[in-house]
Structure 1
Amino acid sequence: MKKYLLFFVCISLSGWAQNAAFPTEKVNTILNRIILPTIPAFTIKVTALGAKGDSISNAKPAFDKAMALCKKKNGGTILVPKGVYTLQGPLHFVSNIHLHLEDGAKIRFGSNPKDYPLVLTSWEGTMLYNYSPLIYGIGLENIAITGNGTIDGEAKNTWIKWKPLEKKDQLLSRDMNHQNVPIKERIFGEGHYLRPQLIQFIDSKNILIENVQIEDSPFWCIHLLKSKSITVRGLKYKAFNNNNDGIDPEYASDVLIENISFDNADDNIAIKSGRDHEGRANSATPSQNIVIRNCNFKGLHGVVLGSEMSAGIQNIYVENCKTIGYLKRGIYLKTNADRGGYIKDVFVNNLQLDEVEDALHITSNYHGEGSGYASSISNINFSNILCNKATQTGIVIQGYPDLKIKDIFFNNIHIQWAKNGISSQNAENVVLNEVTIGEKASIPTSVK
């Protein structure tokens, strides 16, 4: 393999100076709007209601009793002491609930689909009725899941076997989306093979998920759908099944994700906003005002925007993150000509990548799919990024001839080794300042 060397200082420095500074004031404005949940003082231990942390007994009745008792008290804290608690079915939240897993506590879920009733949910950007996520809530406020315990989807020998069977239902859900089939008629469940998420909250606000360890999800790990005022921090991941995205905010706003140690077999963070026709019909609720900071990335991709992003994604701020192992791509913006919508006003600052295939990748042609609904990508800002090795390409930009990716700014980017330096097609106003791929060029040698 050849080492490619690039050192280019763009003369459009005035354009860069206008766009480069990381907008800390805007970040602070978002953080000031985020409200942590307020929980009433009432507290109940699940063991007081019959739960046994013996890993065998079905603890779901006790957890359901605790939830009902807290609801009667207008909210409260459900304490889970040390032990392994098996729930044969989902845990459905009500408002004003704090689920706290004490040190050594684990919640593990059974995998009989008949134990999981159909609920309104979403699957890859399309609303439908499917098996309940393992932890689920809709239309709630003031929700907290905290503690140093573990939430285990127990999916590696069960739900994951549906992965090879899901294609027919995946295509059916997309066809329902494209044909505007009423949501009440999009019934999946028995006879279908769409895996449920581990944790999903819909149309909810004032959410805190803190410190717990996430393991072995059937599908996406944490899906925050049509929700706002969200804090996710201090989590640890050991989630290696297919499609085990770490955190998926979708149609979400005012979100803080910080101090996460990712180790999962798909996107660490994937920001989404609906798919295709349905997503474009919800353009009034883009995913926006999302702050990601002080995270350790390990898995498939670090931060992804898309590919389901048809309602739009804007005002995304990533800062002070690094890898702790292999990533396929560090920052990945992906859409295609089925999506429409836009990705704009994205700021990435102080990112450290070890070995990746592509360090920074922006594409409007994800999977080469679609027609008629190209997406707009603009005002994307990268600053202070160090990458040790890109086994494929340092920087990739792929737009369309009739809808170019534009206003992309790179400042102080150093990729120490790459098979290929930059691959850019159908882009305009790409500004590079203090960018090196390979070894920095020195003073030219004289002719001898």
Structure 2
Amino acid sequence: MNFRSLIFLLFSCVAFAQHNQFPSAKADSIVKRIQLPVIPSYQINVVKLGAKGDSLSDNKKAFDKAMALCKKNNGGTIIVPKGIYKINGPIHFVSNVNLKIEKGAKIKFSDNPQDYLPMVLTSWEGTMLYNYSPLIYAYECNNIAITGEGIIDGEGGKTWKSFKTKENTGKNLSRDMNHNSVPIKDRKFGEGYFLRPQMIQFFNCKNILVENIRIENSPFWCLHLLKSQSITVRGISYKSLNYNNDGIDPEYAKDVLIENVNFDNGDDNVAIKAGRDHEGRANTATPSENIVIRNCNFKGLHGVVIGSEMSAGVQNVFVENCKTAGYLKRGIYIKTNADRGGYIRNIFVKNIKLDEVEDCLYITSNYHGEGKGFQSDISNIHFSDISCNKASESGIVIQGFADKKIRNISLNNIEIKSAKNAISNENAENVLMTDVFIGKRATVPTAVTH
């Protein structure tokens, strides 16, 4: 190695070391530019429109009328007072509306799939298509909110739950259409295909607030932030334990704040996505980026996941000051495979307290061992100040490919008190570890005794 190369290498290592600290100023700048929705002063109480909170009456017409009145008045607040309001069909938002579900109020959706037709343009596991309407659906809306201390119940544990065992034909067809660039207008699913709808989906929306509500019993993903930006999710809670009940799924999403959330989910708590395979790679202009997750309590399958559908790219994610409130399979899980392409970069995770997990920190380019031809680029991943009481399998896992290595990983002040396997690190380069303890921390060496 010549002198010039040595200087460059030293400079690169120093630069990497200097930039692996948690960049609080960058996270703060994202939060500062996120705009809360501006809602006009008009208000309408659904009871005045004939809604009955008796858990039996169908209140679809009253809620539709409330939304229509808000549209006529260029927006406003729909008040849902104490009671259980059954709704046989979806709520479709218009712009400039706050759906305020007051304490003691519950919206309980029907679980009759026919109620969620006609189909709407949506997405299913990373592929755009037409399917059953999400239970709450906002398409191309600005300044929208769901607030209050009430409950949204998706009634997902019976009919919708039964769809899981029947979904493979529809799921595989959707992926074939993705890979073969079938026009979206020709991707018609709905009845007979058994693809469950999301509970809440904001699609091509801007300036969104979801605050303090409780989400229960979703048919599928709970809160899907699709191709939307300037989003605040805070103070909400969950009890949603059906199949694929991800808590929050930002997908092609930009400028997102998730804070003070109490998760209890049957799947990932936060799963950051950016489209699947061919379709995702065609949308690299809209990666998921600038996402701040802080002060949350994790409980469910995984805490924060990036992938596996991330083909348009994921960058600039900041996770800090979170802890577990129960079991997690994995704490932080970054996953992709050789079908995806795209990139995952500039991920910063700080001050995470985990209790018992299967794996603490897991980064893999070979999720499910699937795919070929489109390996993803994973680089600049930084973990600091992380504690875990027990990993029943692995403390730290990094899995790249020999011809596509994971690059620039830093681990600083990591303590895992017990792990079956400490570290599995393959096909990665420039992995920097500082103050990493797995198992019992060593003290001074023992002396020879005579």
Which bin holds the TM-score, normalised by the shorter protein? over 0.9
2:227 paired residue number? 226
2:415 paired residue number? 414
CA deviations over 1:341-385 (Å, ceiling 9, x no partner): 000000000000000000000000000000000000000000000
Q: Within 5 Å, give how 1:148-227 maps onto structure 2.
A: 148-227=149-228
Work out the CA distance in 1 between the residues paired with 2:28 and 2:396.
30
SS at match of 2:95: coil
Structure 1 residue 90: Cα displacement: 0.3
Structure 1 residue 174: Cα displacement: 0.3
Pair 1:386–1:16, CA change in 2 (3 A) = farther
Work out the CA distance in 2 between the residues paired with 1:198 and 1:115.
14
Q: Give 5+ residue unaligned stretches, structure 1.
A: 1-11
Work out the CA distance in 2 between the residues paired with 1:205 and 1:164.
35
SS at match of 2:394: strand
Work out the CA distance in 1 between the residues paired with 2:63 and 2:145.
15
Structure 1 residue 279: Cα displacement: 0.1
CA deviations over 1:298-317 (Å, ceiling 9, x no partner): 00000000000000000000
The runs of at least 4 consecutive aligned structure 1 residues that moved more than 6 Å come to none
User: Is 1:289 equivalent to 2:290 in the alignment?
Assistant: yes
User: Is 1:348 equivalent to 2:365 in the alignment?
Assistant: no
Residue 175 of structure 1 aligns with an amino acid whose one-letter code is D
Higher RCO (C-alpha 8 Å, min separation 6) = 1
1:45 paired residue number? 45
Contact persistence 1:13–1:433 (CA under 8 A): no
Q: Within 5 Å, give how 1:119-134 maps onto structure 2.
A: 119-134=120-135
Contact persistence 2:16–2:408 (CA under 8 A): no
Q: Within 5 Å, give how 1:99-114 maps onto structure 2.
A: 99-114=99-114
Contact persistence 1:19–1:381 (CA under 8 A): no
CA deviations over 1:163-199 (Å, ceiling 9, x no partner): 0000111100000000000000000011110000000
Residue 169 of structure 1 aligns with an amino acid whose one-letter code is G
TM-score in terms of structure 1 length: 0.97
Structure 1 residue 14: Cα displacement: 3.7
SS at match of 2:21: coil
Q: Give 5+ residue unaligned stretches, structure 2.
A: 1-11
TM-score in terms of structure 2 length: 0.96
Work out the CA distance in 2 between the residues paired with 1:13 and 1:312.
25
Provide the aligned C-alpha RMSD in A: 0.9
Residue 184 of structure 2 aligns with an amino acid whose one-letter code is I
Work out the CA distance in 2 between the residues paired with 1:213 and 1:327.
21
What fraction of aligned residue pairs are identical, expressed as a percent? 68
Work out the CA distance in 2 between the residues paired with 1:21 and 1:331.
18
CA deviations over 1:198-230 (Å, ceiling 9, x no partner): 000100000000000000000000000000000
Q: Within 5 Å, give how 1:275-354 maps onto structure 2.
A: 275-354=276-355
1:60 paired residue number? 60
Structure 1 residue 17: Cα displacement: 3.4
CA deviations over 1:18-48 (Å, ceiling 9, x no partner): 1232111101111111000000000000000
1:26 paired residue number? 26
CA deviations over 1:92-111 (Å, ceiling 9, x no partner): 00000000011100001011
2:246 paired residue number? 245
